[in-house]
Amino acid sequence: MFSIGKITLANPLILAPMAGISDLPYRLINRSLGCELAFTEMISAASVVYKSKSTLKMLSTNPKDKPLGVQLLGNDAELLKRALDIVSAYNFDIVDFNAACPVSKVVSGGKGAGLLREPEKLQKLLKVIVEYSTVPVTVKIRTGWGETSINAVEVALCAQDAGVKALFIHGRTKIQGYSGTVDYNIIRKVKETLKIPLIASGDALSPQLIGKLFEETGCDCVALARGALGNPWLFRETAEFLRTGDVPGRPDVHEIAQTMREHLAGSIAFKGEEIGIVNFRKFFAWYTRGMHVKDLRSRAFLAETEEEMLNLIGEVDNSEAANIECVPSDT
Protein backbone atom coordinates (compact mmCIF):
# COMPACT_ATOMS: atom_id res chain seq x y z
CA MET A 1 0.00 0.00 0.00
CA PHE A 2 1.16 3.52 -0.79
CA SER A 3 -0.31 6.79 0.49
CA ILE A 4 -0.20 10.48 -0.39
CA GLY A 5 -2.07 12.28 2.34
CA LYS A 6 -5.36 10.41 2.70
CA ILE A 7 -5.11 8.82 -0.75
CA THR A 8 -4.11 5.16 -0.50
CA LEU A 9 -3.09 3.11 -3.53
CA ALA A 10 -2.76 -0.65 -3.81
CA ASN A 11 -0.44 -0.34 -6.80
CA PRO A 12 2.85 1.64 -6.43
CA LEU A 13 2.72 2.79 -10.05
CA ILE A 14 1.50 6.23 -11.14
CA LEU A 15 0.77 7.64 -14.58
CA ALA A 16 3.02 10.68 -14.90
CA PRO A 17 1.72 13.92 -16.43
CA MET A 18 2.98 14.52 -19.97
CA ALA A 19 2.39 17.72 -21.91
CA GLY A 20 0.31 17.13 -25.03
CA ILE A 21 -0.33 13.52 -24.01
CA SER A 22 -2.15 13.08 -20.70
CA ASP A 23 -5.69 13.95 -21.71
CA LEU A 24 -8.82 12.23 -20.42
CA PRO A 25 -8.97 9.43 -23.06
CA TYR A 26 -5.30 8.57 -22.49
CA ARG A 27 -5.77 8.41 -18.74
CA LEU A 28 -8.85 6.20 -18.99
CA ILE A 29 -7.08 3.71 -21.26
CA ASN A 30 -4.26 3.38 -18.74
CA ARG A 31 -6.72 3.08 -15.85
CA SER A 32 -8.43 0.20 -17.64
CA LEU A 33 -5.16 -1.73 -17.45
CA GLY A 34 -4.19 -1.13 -13.84
CA CYS A 35 -3.34 2.54 -13.33
CA GLU A 36 -4.91 3.97 -10.16
CA LEU A 37 -3.52 7.50 -9.81
CA ALA A 38 -3.05 9.77 -12.83
CA PHE A 39 -2.44 13.45 -13.49
CA THR A 40 -3.57 16.03 -16.00
CA GLU A 41 -1.15 17.46 -18.49
CA MET A 42 1.15 20.19 -17.18
CA ILE A 43 -1.07 23.28 -16.94
CA SER A 44 0.06 26.89 -16.78
CA ALA A 45 -1.35 28.73 -13.77
CA ALA A 46 -1.54 31.90 -15.86
CA SER A 47 -3.56 30.14 -18.56
CA VAL A 48 -6.01 28.91 -15.94
CA VAL A 49 -6.42 32.40 -14.50
CA TYR A 50 -6.94 33.97 -17.92
CA LYS A 51 -9.37 31.16 -18.79
CA SER A 52 -7.75 29.87 -21.95
CA LYS A 53 -10.32 27.54 -23.56
CA SER A 54 -7.72 24.93 -24.45
CA THR A 55 -6.33 25.00 -20.92
CA LEU A 56 -9.74 24.65 -19.27
CA LYS A 57 -10.39 21.68 -21.57
CA MET A 58 -7.29 20.03 -20.08
CA LEU A 59 -9.03 20.11 -16.70
CA SER A 60 -11.84 17.87 -17.99
CA THR A 61 -12.46 14.64 -16.14
CA ASN A 62 -15.26 12.20 -15.30
CA PRO A 63 -16.23 9.91 -12.39
CA LYS A 64 -14.11 7.02 -13.74
CA ASP A 65 -11.02 9.24 -13.78
CA LYS A 66 -10.25 9.06 -10.05
CA PRO A 67 -8.09 9.63 -8.12
CA LEU A 68 -6.72 12.45 -10.25
CA GLY A 69 -4.11 15.12 -9.68
CA VAL A 70 -3.69 18.41 -11.50
CA GLN A 71 -0.16 19.56 -12.32
CA LEU A 72 0.44 23.31 -12.25
CA LEU A 73 3.30 25.32 -13.72
CA GLY A 74 4.21 28.84 -12.69
CA ASN A 75 6.50 31.16 -10.73
CA ASP A 76 4.11 33.89 -9.60
CA ALA A 77 2.55 33.38 -6.18
CA GLU A 78 -0.51 35.52 -6.87
CA LEU A 79 -1.31 33.73 -10.12
CA LEU A 80 -0.88 30.39 -8.39
CA LYS A 81 -3.33 31.43 -5.65
CA ARG A 82 -5.91 32.44 -8.24
CA ALA A 83 -5.36 29.27 -10.26
CA LEU A 84 -5.83 27.13 -7.15
CA ASP A 85 -9.13 28.85 -6.44
CA ILE A 86 -10.33 28.00 -9.97
CA VAL A 87 -9.14 24.37 -10.09
CA SER A 88 -10.64 23.66 -6.65
CA ALA A 89 -14.05 23.56 -8.35
CA TYR A 90 -12.92 20.50 -10.33
CA ASN A 91 -12.45 18.37 -7.20
CA PHE A 92 -8.94 17.12 -7.95
CA ASP A 93 -7.41 14.84 -5.35
CA ILE A 94 -3.85 16.23 -5.51
CA VAL A 95 -2.13 19.40 -6.69
CA ASP A 96 1.33 18.75 -8.15
CA PHE A 97 3.74 21.60 -8.85
CA ASN A 98 6.15 21.28 -11.77
CA ALA A 99 9.77 22.19 -11.03
CA ALA A 100 11.15 19.67 -13.50
CA CYS A 101 10.16 20.57 -17.07
CA PRO A 102 13.42 21.08 -19.04
CA VAL A 103 11.89 22.70 -22.14
CA SER A 104 13.73 25.92 -23.01
CA LYS A 105 10.67 28.16 -23.34
CA VAL A 106 9.50 27.06 -19.89
CA VAL A 107 12.88 27.34 -18.20
CA SER A 108 13.70 30.71 -19.78
CA GLY A 109 10.72 32.17 -17.95
CA GLY A 110 12.02 30.92 -14.61
CA LYS A 111 9.50 28.09 -14.43
CA GLY A 112 9.77 24.32 -14.40
CA ALA A 113 13.36 23.15 -13.94
CA GLY A 114 14.42 26.81 -13.87
CA LEU A 115 13.30 26.85 -10.23
CA LEU A 116 16.00 24.30 -9.36
CA ARG A 117 18.42 27.22 -9.51
CA GLU A 118 16.36 29.07 -6.88
CA PRO A 119 15.53 26.62 -4.06
CA GLU A 120 14.44 29.41 -1.71
CA LYS A 121 12.00 30.82 -4.25
CA LEU A 122 10.68 27.32 -4.97
CA GLN A 123 10.12 26.80 -1.25
CA LYS A 124 8.20 30.09 -0.97
CA LEU A 125 5.98 29.13 -3.90
CA LEU A 126 5.33 25.70 -2.40
CA LYS A 127 4.37 27.24 0.94
CA VAL A 128 1.80 29.39 -0.86
CA ILE A 129 0.42 26.38 -2.74
CA VAL A 130 0.23 24.28 0.43
CA GLU A 131 -1.54 27.11 2.27
CA TYR A 132 -4.11 27.76 -0.44
CA SER A 133 -4.71 24.21 -1.68
CA THR A 134 -7.62 22.25 -0.26
CA VAL A 135 -5.96 18.91 -1.17
CA PRO A 136 -2.49 17.37 -0.66
CA VAL A 137 0.35 19.05 -2.55
CA THR A 138 3.27 17.31 -4.26
CA VAL A 139 6.16 18.63 -6.35
CA LYS A 140 8.22 17.22 -9.20
CA ILE A 141 11.93 18.00 -9.43
CA ARG A 142 15.07 16.77 -11.20
CA THR A 143 18.49 15.87 -9.79
CA GLY A 144 19.72 19.39 -10.52
CA TRP A 145 20.47 21.86 -13.30
CA GLY A 146 23.62 20.14 -14.60
CA GLU A 147 26.29 17.71 -13.50
CA THR A 148 28.17 20.44 -11.60
CA SER A 149 25.03 21.66 -9.83
CA ILE A 150 23.36 18.56 -8.41
CA ASN A 151 21.15 19.87 -5.61
CA ALA A 152 18.25 17.42 -5.41
CA VAL A 153 18.73 16.75 -1.69
CA GLU A 154 18.68 20.47 -0.86
CA VAL A 155 15.64 21.09 -3.06
CA ALA A 156 13.83 18.06 -1.67
CA LEU A 157 14.34 19.24 1.91
CA CYS A 158 13.05 22.69 0.98
CA ALA A 159 9.95 21.05 -0.47
CA GLN A 160 9.43 18.85 2.57
CA ASP A 161 9.79 21.83 4.91
CA ALA A 162 7.22 23.69 2.80
CA GLY A 163 4.66 21.01 3.64
CA VAL A 164 4.36 18.90 0.50
CA LYS A 165 3.03 15.38 1.09
CA ALA A 166 5.23 13.58 -1.47
CA LEU A 167 8.00 14.35 -3.92
CA PHE A 168 8.46 13.22 -7.51
CA ILE A 169 12.00 13.11 -8.88
CA HIS A 170 13.20 12.47 -12.43
CA GLY A 171 16.66 10.97 -12.22
CA ARG A 172 18.30 13.31 -14.72
CA THR A 173 19.42 16.94 -14.72
CA LYS A 174 17.77 19.74 -16.65
CA ILE A 175 20.73 19.76 -19.08
CA GLN A 176 20.30 16.03 -19.75
CA GLY A 177 16.64 16.40 -20.56
CA TYR A 178 15.57 12.84 -21.38
CA SER A 179 18.95 11.56 -22.60
CA GLY A 180 21.89 10.06 -20.78
CA THR A 181 21.91 7.90 -17.68
CA VAL A 182 19.43 8.01 -14.83
CA ASP A 183 21.26 8.70 -11.56
CA TYR A 184 20.02 6.05 -9.14
CA ASN A 185 22.49 7.20 -6.46
CA ILE A 186 21.05 10.70 -6.21
CA ILE A 187 17.50 9.35 -6.06
CA ARG A 188 18.57 7.04 -3.22
CA LYS A 189 20.21 9.92 -1.33
CA VAL A 190 16.98 11.90 -1.62
CA LYS A 191 14.98 8.92 -0.38
CA GLU A 192 17.29 8.44 2.61
CA THR A 193 16.95 12.13 3.49
CA LEU A 194 13.19 12.55 3.25
CA LYS A 195 10.43 11.60 5.67
CA ILE A 196 7.73 11.95 3.00
CA PRO A 197 7.13 9.42 0.18
CA LEU A 198 9.36 9.57 -2.90
CA ILE A 199 8.13 8.78 -6.41
CA ALA A 200 10.92 8.14 -8.91
CA SER A 201 10.89 8.32 -12.70
CA GLY A 202 13.31 8.01 -15.59
CA ASP A 203 13.70 5.07 -17.99
CA ALA A 204 10.69 3.28 -16.47
CA LEU A 205 10.25 1.50 -19.78
CA SER A 206 9.76 -2.17 -18.87
CA PRO A 207 8.85 -4.27 -15.82
CA GLN A 208 12.52 -5.15 -15.37
CA LEU A 209 13.72 -1.54 -15.51
CA ILE A 210 10.95 -0.45 -13.15
CA GLY A 211 11.95 -3.24 -10.76
CA LYS A 212 15.54 -2.01 -10.96
CA LEU A 213 14.43 1.55 -10.18
CA PHE A 214 12.70 0.33 -7.02
CA GLU A 215 15.66 -1.84 -6.02
CA GLU A 216 18.44 0.67 -6.70
CA THR A 217 16.76 3.71 -5.13
CA GLY A 218 14.45 2.42 -2.42
CA CYS A 219 11.73 4.72 -3.78
CA ASP A 220 8.15 4.26 -2.60
CA CYS A 221 6.56 4.47 -6.02
CA VAL A 222 7.44 4.82 -9.71
CA ALA A 223 5.83 7.20 -12.20
CA LEU A 224 5.43 5.86 -15.74
CA ALA A 225 5.80 8.32 -18.60
CA ARG A 226 7.36 7.37 -21.97
CA GLY A 227 7.11 3.69 -21.10
CA ALA A 228 3.31 3.86 -21.16
CA LEU A 229 3.05 5.50 -24.60
CA GLY A 230 1.19 2.98 -26.70
CA ASN A 231 1.81 0.47 -23.94
CA PRO A 232 -0.80 0.80 -21.17
CA TRP A 233 -0.19 -2.90 -20.45
CA LEU A 234 2.98 -1.79 -18.65
CA PHE A 235 0.87 -1.22 -15.53
CA ARG A 236 -0.57 -4.73 -15.58
CA GLU A 237 2.70 -6.40 -16.48
CA THR A 238 4.78 -4.53 -13.93
CA ALA A 239 2.34 -5.24 -11.12
CA GLU A 240 2.63 -8.96 -11.92
CA PHE A 241 6.41 -8.77 -12.20
CA LEU A 242 6.75 -7.03 -8.84
CA ARG A 243 4.42 -9.56 -7.25
CA THR A 244 5.86 -12.78 -8.74
CA GLY A 245 9.22 -11.97 -10.30
CA ASP A 246 8.00 -13.43 -13.57
CA VAL A 247 8.01 -11.46 -16.82
CA PRO A 248 4.45 -11.73 -18.18
CA GLY A 249 3.64 -12.28 -21.82
CA ARG A 250 2.85 -9.38 -24.10
CA PRO A 251 -0.70 -8.70 -25.39
CA ASP A 252 -1.42 -10.21 -28.78
CA VAL A 253 -2.14 -8.06 -31.80
CA HIS A 254 -5.91 -8.45 -31.40
CA GLU A 255 -5.85 -7.00 -27.88
CA ILE A 256 -3.63 -4.16 -29.07
CA ALA A 257 -5.98 -3.40 -31.96
CA GLN A 258 -9.04 -3.43 -29.71
CA THR A 259 -7.36 -1.04 -27.28
CA MET A 260 -6.50 1.22 -30.22
CA ARG A 261 -10.18 1.27 -31.22
CA GLU A 262 -11.23 2.19 -27.69
CA HIS A 263 -8.62 4.93 -27.49
CA LEU A 264 -9.65 6.32 -30.87
CA ALA A 265 -13.32 6.37 -29.85
CA GLY A 266 -12.44 8.19 -26.65
CA SER A 267 -10.30 10.72 -28.47
CA ILE A 268 -13.08 11.52 -30.96
CA ALA A 269 -15.72 11.74 -28.23
CA PHE A 270 -13.51 14.11 -26.26
CA LYS A 271 -12.18 16.35 -29.02
CA GLY A 272 -14.44 15.82 -32.01
CA GLU A 273 -13.57 13.86 -35.15
CA GLU A 274 -11.16 16.29 -36.79
CA ILE A 275 -8.98 17.05 -33.78
CA GLY A 276 -9.49 13.59 -32.29
CA ILE A 277 -8.06 11.94 -35.40
CA VAL A 278 -5.07 14.28 -35.50
CA ASN A 279 -4.45 13.63 -31.81
CA PHE A 280 -4.64 9.87 -32.28
CA ARG A 281 -2.09 9.71 -35.13
CA LYS A 282 0.90 9.71 -32.78
CA PHE A 283 -0.73 7.05 -30.64
CA PHE A 284 -1.18 4.84 -33.72
CA ALA A 285 2.59 5.00 -34.16
CA TRP A 286 3.25 4.21 -30.51
CA TYR A 287 0.80 1.30 -30.36
CA THR A 288 2.43 -0.30 -33.41
CA ARG A 289 6.06 0.00 -32.31
CA GLY A 290 7.89 -3.22 -33.05
CA MET A 291 5.41 -4.25 -35.73
CA HIS A 292 6.46 -4.41 -39.36
CA VAL A 293 3.72 -2.04 -40.48
CA LYS A 294 5.67 1.03 -41.60
CA ASP A 295 3.27 1.66 -44.49
CA LEU A 296 0.26 1.65 -42.14
CA ARG A 297 1.95 4.15 -39.84
CA SER A 298 2.64 6.46 -42.78
CA ARG A 299 -0.98 6.22 -43.89
CA ALA A 300 -2.21 6.83 -40.34
CA PHE A 301 -0.49 10.22 -40.32
CA LEU A 302 -2.55 11.13 -43.38
CA ALA A 303 -5.88 9.78 -42.09
CA GLU A 304 -8.58 12.42 -41.68
CA THR A 305 -11.71 10.47 -40.75
CA GLU A 306 -12.75 7.91 -38.17
CA GLU A 307 -13.52 5.43 -40.94
CA GLU A 308 -10.02 5.75 -42.39
CA MET A 309 -8.37 5.26 -39.02
CA LEU A 310 -10.58 2.29 -38.13
CA ASN A 311 -9.73 0.66 -41.44
CA LEU A 312 -6.03 1.06 -40.69
CA ILE A 313 -6.49 -0.45 -37.24
CA GLY A 314 -8.34 -3.31 -38.93
CA GLU A 315 -5.34 -3.87 -41.19
CA VAL A 316 -3.09 -3.99 -38.13
CA ASP A 317 -5.44 -6.55 -36.57
CA ASN A 318 -5.36 -8.76 -39.65
CA SER A 319 -1.73 -8.29 -40.69
CA GLU A 320 0.72 -11.17 -40.40
CA ALA A 321 3.48 -8.56 -40.08
CA ALA A 322 1.77 -7.15 -37.02
CA ASN A 323 2.08 -10.35 -35.00
CA ILE A 324 4.86 -9.67 -32.52
CA GLU A 325 6.12 -11.11 -29.28
CA CYS A 326 6.81 -7.86 -27.51
CA VAL A 327 6.96 -4.11 -27.79
CA PRO A 328 10.57 -2.89 -27.57
CA SER A 329 11.31 -1.39 -24.16
CA ASP A 330 14.02 1.04 -25.27
CA THR A 331 12.12 3.26 -27.71
| Domain CATH for 318 | 1.10.1200
- Per-residue confidence (pLDDT) for residue 327, from 0 to 100: 45
Same domain, 26 and 149: yes
For residue 255, pLDDT over 50 is answered with yes
Same domain, 19 and 118: yes
Query: Residue 174 to residues 124, 149, 177, 314: CA-CA distances in angstroms?
Result: 21, 10, 5, 41
Domain boundary among 184, 213, 244: 244
Same domain, 82 and 24: yes
Same domain, 203 and 300: no
Question: Are the C-beta atoms of residues 250 and 238 closer than 8 Å to each other?
Answer: no
Domain boundary among 182, 210, 244: 244
Q: Which helix (H) or strand (E) holds 107?
A: helix 104-107
Q: What does the alpha-carbon distance between residue 254 and residue 317 come to, in Å, rounded to a whole number?
A: 6
Domain boundary among 226, 244, 262: 244
- Per-residue confidence (pLDDT) for residue 143, from 0 to 100: 98
Same domain, 223 and 85: yes
For residue 273, pLDDT over 80 is answered with yes
Structural domain that includes position 293: 253-322
Q: Where residue 323 falls among pLDDT bands split at 50, 70, 90?
A: low
Establish if 239 belongs to a structural domain.
Answer: yes
Task: Give the mean pLDDT of 222-249.
Answer: 96
Establish if 204 belongs to a structural domain.
Answer: yes
Task: Give the mean pLDDT of 256-268.
Answer: 98
Question: Are the C-beta atoms of residues 85 and 44 closer than 8 Å to each other?
Answer: no
Domain total in the chain: 2
- Per-residue confidence (pLDDT) for residue 2, from 0 to 100: 84
- Per-residue confidence (pLDDT) for residue 326, from 0 to 100: 41
Q: Where residue 321 falls among pLDDT bands split at 50, 70, 90?
A: low
% of the chain with per-residue pLDDT over 90: 93
Concerning whether 101 is annotated as a catalytic residue, the answer is yes
Mapped onto helix, strand or coil, the DSSP state of residue 167 is strand
Task: Give the mean pLDDT of 153-158.
Answer: 98
For residue 331, pLDDT over 60 is answered with no
Establish if 329 belongs to a structural domain.
Answer: no
Establish if 331 belongs to a structural domain.
Answer: no
Looking at the whole model, is its pTM more than 0.75? yes
Establish if 72 belongs to a structural domain.
Answer: yes
Q: Where residue 201 falls among pLDDT bands split at 50, 70, 90?
A: very high
The least confident of 36-45, 146-155, 157-166, 311-320 is: 311-320
C-alpha radius of gyration, the chain, whole number: 20
The partner residues of 3 in beta bridges, in order of sequence, read: 8
Q: Where residue 325 falls among pLDDT bands split at 50, 70, 90?
A: very low
Task: Give the mean pLDDT of 227-244.
Answer: 97
Length of the chain: 331
Task: Give the mean pLDDT of 182-210.
Answer: 98
Peptide bond into 17 cis (omega under 30): no
Check residue 283 and report its DSSP letter.
H
Establish if 110 belongs to a structural domain.
Answer: yes
Mapped onto helix, strand or coil, the DSSP state of residue 63 is coil
Residue 137, amino acid: V
Same domain, 317 and 224: no
- Per-residue confidence (pLDDT) for residue 328, from 0 to 100: 42
Same domain, 240 and 263: no
Same domain, 271 and 135: no
**34-87 pLDDT per residue, tens:** 999 999 999 999 999 999 999 999 999 999 999 999 999 999 999 999 999 999
The partner residues of 168 in beta bridges, in order of sequence, read: 140, 199
The partner residues of 144 in beta bridges, in order of sequence, read: 150
Same domain, 257 and 152: no
Same domain, 31 and 156: yes
For residue 100, pLDDT over 60 is answered with yes
- Per-residue confidence (pLDDT) for residue 244, from 0 to 100: 95
Same domain, 305 and 207: no
Q: In this structure, what CATH number is given to the domain that contains residue 182? A: 3.20.20.70
For residue 320, pLDDT over 60 is answered with yes
- Per-residue confidence (pLDDT) for residue 1, from 0 to 100: 78
Mean pLDDT of the chain: 95
Establish if 151 belongs to a structural domain.
Answer: yes
Q: What does the alpha-carbon distance between residue 231 and residue 6 come to, in Å, rounded to a whole number?
A: 29
- Per-residue confidence (pLDDT) for residue 322, from 0 to 100: 61
Which residue among the candidates 101, 158, 219, 221 is catalytic per the annotation? 101
Q: What does the alpha-carbon distance between residue 41 and residue 111 come to, in Å, rounded to a whole number?
A: 16
Same domain, 229 and 312: no
